[in-house]
């Protein structure tokens, strides 16, 4: 049951829903815009399960996730379709013109990422330099757009351009990018078994670059929290998240895909749970 929840990305969908709800509550977005939280969940199911399906048809090395997905192909495809049609319904029913424009931009970024991944898988891991940084930026951008930018564009772009909204958006972006780097650590460790260190380092940038990027993201988040005028609970939750993330980076813990999806993605749920509880 745990693998169904994790490998069908239901866990990520719940996290994205709560992150969106947190944004809605913080900036007092009217209740009628709450369906955006449901959109983020549906979009997560669609994009991540589609990515899994694409990975099955590429030359990418088999992982725990793809091995499981190959045995449950129909369920993965069905979940992706449910996410797709759910996203389309919410877009047609609730989205404004400004939100459609943001959504199209996010879709282009995601397609660009998938295209790069397919070319990397076909031509080998030496095909592109700074792969780790590119992956962090693209994934962080998409998650930030879906969970923050879309809800904040309910009143066109006026709310999005407020100083606190800008800082909140950048904090979220840096946090998402940090967690992506943590998954790069996992891939680097798991790759040691099947690849030479010299080749794998070309793809990930090595431990030193990964650590440097994580430190930069952490420092950027801390600086922005000093100027962010939001509830203290959000700042405390974010500091707690950073502390846990830095802990995992420092110990260089080697864990499986299942554990990493549960623990590291689960770190994201701390902030919305603490923040939402303050508003109830």
- Give the span between the Cα atoms of 273 and 277, in whole angstroms: 6
The reported pLDDT for the residue numbered 255 is 56
The reported pLDDT for the residue numbered 44 is 92
- Give the span between the Cα atoms of 163 and 166, in whole angstroms: 5
Q: What is the pLDDT of residues 37-57, one digit of tens each?
A: 788 999 999 999 998 888 887
- Residues with Cβ within 8 Å of residue 259, at least 6 apart in sequence: none
- Residues with Cβ within 8 Å of residue 81, at least 6 apart in sequence: none
The reported pLDDT for the residue numbered 127 is 44
* In the block, residue with structure tokens 């990930």: 204
Check if the beta carbon of residue 254 is closer than 8 Å to that of residue 219.
no
User: Cα 176 to chain center, whole Å?
Assistant: 6
pLDDT in tens, the chain (280 residues): 778 888 889 999 999 999 988 888 888 777 666 676 788 999 999 999 998 888 887 656 667 788 888 888 999 999 999 999 999 998 888 888 888 888 888 888 877 777 776 666 665 554 445 566 777 788 888 889 888 888 888 766 677 778 888 899 999 999 998 888 777 766 666 554 444 444 544 444 456 677 777 888 888 888 888 888 877 888 888 888 888 887 777 665 555 666 667 777 778 888 888 777 776 6
pTM of the model: 0.81
Q: Between the CA of residue 268 and those of 123, 155, 187, 258, 273, what are the distances in Å?
A: 34, 27, 20, 16, 9
Which one-letter DSSP state was computed for residue 96?
Answer: -
The CB density around residue 59, as the number of other CB atoms within 10 Å, is 11
Sign of dihedral through CA atoms 77, 105, 114, 12?
negative
Instruction: Specify burial of residue 202 (Cβ count, 10 A radius: 0-12, 13-18, 19+).
Output: middle
Token reading at 45: 């199911």
Token reading at 21: 């709800």
Pick 2-279's CATH classification: 1.10.1390, 1.10.600, 1.10.3470, 3.30.70: 1.10.600
The reported pLDDT for the residue numbered 49 is 93
Check if the beta carbon of residue 244 is closer than 8 Å to that of residue 267.
yes
Q: Between the CA of residue 229 and those of 6, 157, 165, 223, 237, what are the distances in Å?
A: 35, 20, 10, 13, 15
Which one-letter DSSP state was computed for residue 230?
Answer: S
The reported pLDDT for the residue numbered 97 is 83
The reported pLDDT for the residue numbered 263 is 73
Smallest CA-to-CA distance from 169 within 150, 154, 152, 148 is with 148
């Amino acid at each position: 049951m745990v693998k169904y929840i994790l490998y069908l990305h239901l866990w990520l969908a719940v996290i994205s829903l709560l992150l969106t709800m947190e944004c809605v509550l913080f900036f007092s977005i009217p209740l009628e815009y709450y369906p955006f939280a449901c959109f983020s969940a549906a979009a997560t199911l669609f994009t991540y399960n589609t990515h899994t399906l694409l990975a099955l048809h590429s030359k990418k090395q088999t992982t725990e996730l793809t091995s499981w997905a190959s045995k449950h192909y129909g369920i993965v495809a069905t979940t992706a379709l449910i996410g797709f049609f759910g996203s389309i319904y919410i877009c047609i029913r609730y989205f404004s013109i400004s939100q459609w424009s943001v959504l199209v931009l996010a879709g282009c970024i995601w397609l660009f990422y998938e295209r790069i991944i397919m070319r990397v898988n076909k031509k080998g891991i030496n095909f592109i330099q700074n792969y780790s940084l590119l992956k962090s930026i693209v994934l962080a951008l998409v998650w930030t757009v879906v969970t923050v930018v879309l809800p904040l564009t309910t009143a066109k772009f006026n709310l999005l351009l407020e100083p606190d909204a800008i800082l909140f958006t950048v904090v979220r972006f840096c946090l998402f990018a940090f967690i992506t780097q943590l998954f790069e650590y996992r891939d680097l460790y798991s790759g040691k078994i099947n690849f030479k260190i010299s080749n794998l380092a070309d793809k990930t940038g090595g431990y030193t670059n990964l650590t440097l990027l994580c430190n930069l993201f952490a420092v950027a988040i801390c600086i922005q929290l000093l100027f962010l005028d939001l509830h203290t609970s959000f700042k405390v939750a974010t500091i707690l998240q950073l502390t846990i993330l830095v802990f995992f980076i420092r110990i260089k813990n080697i864990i499986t895909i299942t554990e990493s999806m549960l623990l590291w993605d689960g770190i994201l749920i701390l902030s919305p749970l603490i923040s939402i509880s303050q508003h109830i």
